[in-house]
A and B are shown apart, each in its own frame.
Chain A
Amino acid sequence: MRPWIRLIFPHSYMDRQRRAGLLFVLPAVLFFSCVFLVPLLQSVVGSFYRTRPGGASEFVGVRLYEKVLADSTFWTSVSNTVSLLLMSVPTTVILALAVALGLNRIGSLKWRNVWAAMYFLPFSASLVAAALIWQWIYDPVYGFLNFLLALIGVPPQKWMQSLNQVRPSIAVVNVWVRLGFDTMIFLAALQSIPGEYWEAASIDGAGAWQRLRHITLPLLNPQIIMVCILELIFNFKIFDQVYATTQGGPASASQTVIMLLYDTAFKYFRMGDASVMAVFVFFTLLVVTLLQWRIFRKPVEY
């Protein structure tokens, strides 16, 4: 009898177990298929068609790939995204690690939780609301930041209205938003490392730096890799903050791939071109994530 028939009409205890397992994962599989797989497949298929919303679609082969991948605007947005990512990801991960190490040293559980909650708050705030507040902070004329700088005699900066300062300014917002989430992951991981390891190292004469380098960081390797991957994905797909603050400006200096994708799909209604960009983003993230996973991940045993 075929296995799938035995799943429907189980004959043995093992068949019933398999069926139970299938039923348990079925909702997740269905959800994943509807929300992720189907749109992904639609994007891949859509990237080969020139689609007119409300009208007919025309199969155009790889012409849209040729067009999009030869478009300077597309590569500018990729470059903006990568530069934003390079500024945000290492800063967020290093800062989150530092904060988590600091929080881990706080003996009082109550105060540790208070500090952790404070770091986590920005993550739970609405990105758009946060972006609007930052827009005010960065305002060249009325901004709080320029007001503070003026107190120490620094001339006003243009921040989000400067070609050179816009991406670092957005990167700071990203770090602010993501810091709490990453810190929580690191803190949870730190608390699961048995204290005897550090104790033994101290007895053997290891200093703080040696304990960090040879015990803490290797044991945090899975979490560091995971956080790096999550940050990479988050920053590559960044949209909300940029859309709410600069709308990709000034002069496209902060236009990211996802912003361009959104505009292409929903302002210019070129669904095929937007699908090509979506496929590009998906495969880029897939390849980079797999590479990160393969190269940097080391098995950890406590």
Chain B
Amino acid sequence: MRRGSAGVLVILALVVTALVLAGPAAAQQKKLVYWTHWEQNPDFNKWYETKGKEFAKKTGYEVEVVTIPYQGYEAKYLAALMGKSGAPDFFNGMAHQWCGQYDFCDKMPDDLAKLWDENIPKYMLEMGRWKGARYGVPIEHGNFQMMYMNVDLFKKAGLNPDRPPKTYDEWLAAMKKLTIVDAKGEPTQVGFALRHKGAPVGITDKFLPFAHAFGARMLSPGLDKATGFANSPEMVEALTFFGNLVLKDKVANLALGNPEDAFDQKRAGVIYRESWFFGWVKKNAPEITFKIAALPCGKTCPGAGQLFPWANLVYKNSPNKQMVWEFIRFISNAKDDLEQHQLQGILPVWTVNQETQYVKSRPDYQAVKDMLAQPVPPTYFHPKSNELATIFGEAVVGVLYGKGQPKPLLDEAAAKMDQTLKD
């Protein structure tokens, strides 16, 4: 009896062990794993799984979406992509970083690349590309700053949200009207909520539209030099203006946390954010009435520029990379593009979708058009863009916090950026 029980136990243990060992292997064979750090777009991400089920009927391969928290996502991506095991089959990232700084990406098949190049707006062509070759699928249209205005606060301040400020002089005057201070002189409501917390790279991203409107650029056109650009007189002027919003004009306040929260809490009349923010506000603060307009112009117009050209990239060491390309081919059509983006309330990517009812009914429809009509701003798709923008962002935040004057801080930043470019 005892011997029999022991035998049964041994067999059970063997079966469990076999199942444990075989389970993940079997699951991995039939799953395409997708990593994304777009925490703010859960419905968009989940759509891949839904579509994956349809794809599985043809191929047997489903899609599993893994959302990596944005904070520190680079480290997790890097560890996985270097380690190979446990790495995703495809992932949301920037081509100049993951394909340029490292060699982690599989080149897109020519016919698929042609399909995408022919079907996305011209300004998006460089997204997902590295050195002229297409590696990834651009996933975000309208990934540039626009002006979100709180309609109620505008009206209370005697401003007309249907006639948004077109120049920075008008804009500053409006911000002053929107700012309310208490008896002690502390703003209880600000005109403009600016980014001053978090990673400096994000601060740079939010400052660059100001810099571009002042005719400045962060790097040389060849992206090989910072001195003379990051510390140019135009950049100094732009940063002085930006710093004065907090220090002199007091239309922005460092006591407020994230600009998004300040806007949602009706503590800020204006915020600069990308197109996706429309869907986010609708879901998280539906009581806010807002309008979206193109950014004002200074010496020039800032244009539709961005620091983070997100694209879906395929891991070159993935054993399933051919199947991933098949999946991407499966969803590379206008209908799916519209469906996926509409689900999350963000702009579709395909040109043909830009005039659909969904896009036309969005509050950012005209603003996006106006931004795209502005001159094309500089882009900084350099393999070290994160590090360069961090160094630059430290100068920007240094000015906001009164650590120094714009010129010396920008000089120091430019020298460090040059050193980084040389390394």
Q: Which of A205-213, A249-257, A281-289 contacts B (4 or more CB under 8 A)?
A: A249-257
Residues on A with C-beta less than 8 A from B104 are 54
A104 CB-CB contact with B under 8 Å:
no
Residues on B with C-beta less than 8 A from A263 are 390
Those of B53-98 within 8 Å (CB) of chain A: 72, 74-75, 78, 81-82
B394 CB-CB contact with A under 8 Å:
yes
Residues on B with C-beta less than 8 A from A247 are 197-199
Whether A141 contacts B257 by the Cβ 8 Å rule is: yes
In the complex where A249-B197, A250-B197 touch, is A266 in contact with B82 (Cβ < 8 A)?
no
- Shortest beta-carbon distance from B395 to chain A in Å: 9
A299 CB-CB contact with B under 8 Å:
no
Q: How far is the CA of A198 from the CA of B21 in the complex (A)?
A: 63
Whether B401 contacts A54 by the Cβ 8 Å rule is: no
A267 CB-CB contact with B under 8 Å:
yes
- Shortest beta-carbon distance from B314 to chain A in Å: 15
In the complex where A53-B82, A140-B255, A267-B74 touch, is A249 in contact with B103 (Cβ < 8 A)?
no
Whether A251 contacts B400 by the Cβ 8 Å rule is: yes
Whether A266 contacts B72 by the Cβ 8 Å rule is: yes
Interface size on B, residues (CB 8 A): 35
A52 CB-CB contact with B under 8 Å:
yes
A-B contact count (CB 8 A): 80
B 91-117 to A, binary, CB cutoff 8 A, 1 in contact else 0: 000000000011110000000000000
Whether A252 contacts B394 by the Cβ 8 Å rule is: yes
Q: How far is the CA of A129 from the CA of B412 in the complex (A)?
A: 36
- Shortest beta-carbon distance from A183 to chain B in Å: 33
* A250 contact from B72, B101, B103, B196, Cβ within 8 A: B196
Q: How far is the CA of A161 from the CA of B253 in the complex (A)?
A: 11
B125 CB-CB contact with A under 8 Å:
no
A159 to B, closest residue via Cβ? B255
B402 to A, closest residue via Cβ? A163
A155 CB-CB contact with B under 8 Å:
yes
* A267 contact from B103, B255, B387, Cβ within 8 A: B387
A111 CB-CB contact with B under 8 Å:
no
Q: How far is the CA of A42 from the CA of B74 in the complex (A)?
A: 21
A 133-159 to B, binary, CB cutoff 8 A, 1 in contact else 0: 000000111000000000000011010
Residues on B with C-beta less than 8 A from A13 are none
B398 CB-CB contact with A under 8 Å:
yes
B299 CB-CB contact with A under 8 Å:
no
B186 CB-CB contact with A under 8 Å:
yes
Residues on A with C-beta less than 8 A from B82 are 53-54
Whether B403 contacts A53 by the Cβ 8 Å rule is: no
* A266 contact from B74, B390, B398, B423, Cβ within 8 A: B74
Residues on A with C-beta less than 8 A from B384 are 268
Whether A269 contacts B397 by the Cβ 8 Å rule is: no
A55 CB-CB contact with B under 8 Å:
yes
Q: How far is the CA of A18 from the CA of B81 in the complex (A)?
A: 45
Residues on B with C-beta less than 8 A from A269 are 74, 78, 101-102
In the complex where A156-B255, A252-B394 touch, is A161 in contact with B103 (Cβ < 8 A)?
no
A 245-279 to B, binary, CB cutoff 8 A, 1 in contact else 0: 01101111100000000110111111000000000
B256 CB-CB contact with A under 8 Å:
yes
Whether B75 contacts A250 by the Cβ 8 Å rule is: no
B 379-423 to A, binary, CB cutoff 8 A, 1 in contact else 0: 000001011001000100110111100000000100010000001
Residues on B with C-beta less than 8 A from A161 are 196-197, 254-255
Most buried by B among A67, A139, A247: A247
Q: How far is the CA of A84 from the CA of B203 in the complex (A)?
A: 25
Residues on B with C-beta less than 8 A from A251 are 394, 397-398, 400-401, 403
- Shortest beta-carbon distance from B181 to chain A in Å: 13
- Shortest beta-carbon distance from A252 to chain B in Å: 6
- Shortest beta-carbon distance from B348 to chain A in Å: 31
Residues on B with C-beta less than 8 A from A55 are 102-103
Residues on A with C-beta less than 8 A from B401 are 163, 250-251, 253
Chain B binding surface, main DSSP class: loop
Residues on B with C-beta less than 8 A from A270 are 387, 423
B184 CB-CB contact with A under 8 Å:
yes
Q: How far is the CA of A108 from the CA of B267 in the complex (A)?
A: 53
In the complex where A141-B255, A141-B256, A163-B403 touch, is A267 in contact with B102 (Cβ < 8 A)?
no
Residues on B with C-beta less than 8 A from A141 are 255-257, 267
- Shortest beta-carbon distance from A227 to chain B in Å: 31
Whether A54 contacts B255 by the Cβ 8 Å rule is: no
Residues on A with C-beta less than 8 A from B423 are 67, 270
Residues on B with C-beta less than 8 A from A250 are 196-197, 254, 397, 401
* B386 contact from A140, A249, A268, Cβ within 8 A: A268
Residues on A with C-beta less than 8 A from B397 are 249-252
Residues on B with C-beta less than 8 A from A266 are 72, 74-75, 78
A 99-125 to B, binary, CB cutoff 8 A, 1 in contact else 0: 000000000000000000000000000
Residues on B with C-beta less than 8 A from A252 are 394, 397-398
Residues on B with C-beta less than 8 A from A246 are 197
B184 to A, closest residue via Cβ? A155
- Shortest beta-carbon distance from A137 to chain B in Å: 14
Residues on A with C-beta less than 8 A from B394 are 73, 251-252
Residues on A with C-beta less than 8 A from B255 are 140-141, 156, 158, 161
Residues on B with C-beta less than 8 A from A253 are 401
A246 to B, closest residue via Cβ? B197
Whether B257 contacts A139 by the Cβ 8 Å rule is: yes
Those of B192-237 within 8 Å (CB) of chain A: 196-199
Residues on A with C-beta less than 8 A from B197 are 161, 246-247, 249-250
In the complex where A156-B255, A161-B254, A247-B198 touch, is A268 in contact with B387 (Cβ < 8 A)?
yes
Residues on B with C-beta less than 8 A from A268 are 384, 386-387, 390
Q: How far is the CA of A249 from the CA of B198 in the complex (A)?
A: 7
Q: How far is the CA of A268 from the CA of B385 in the complex (A)?
A: 9
- Shortest beta-carbon distance from A72 to chain B in Å: 8
In the complex where A54-B104, A141-B257, A156-B255 touch, is A267 in contact with B75 (Cβ < 8 A)?
yes
Whether A54 contacts B103 by the Cβ 8 Å rule is: yes
Q: How far is the CA of A222 from the CA of B416 in the complex (A)?
A: 46
Further contacts, 9 of them, CB under 8 A, given A161-B196, A267-B75:
A54-B104, A140-B255, A158-B255, A247-B199, A251-B401, A251-B403, A265-B75, A268-B386, A268-B387
Ordered by A's residue number, 21 sampled pairs between the chains whose C-beta atoms are within 8 Å are: A52-B102, A54-B104, A139-B257, A140-B256, A155-B184, A161-B196, A161-B197, A161-B255, A163-B402, A247-B197, A247-B198, A247-B199, A251-B394, A267-B75, A267-B386, A267-B387, A267-B390, A268-B384, A269-B78, A270-B387, A270-B423
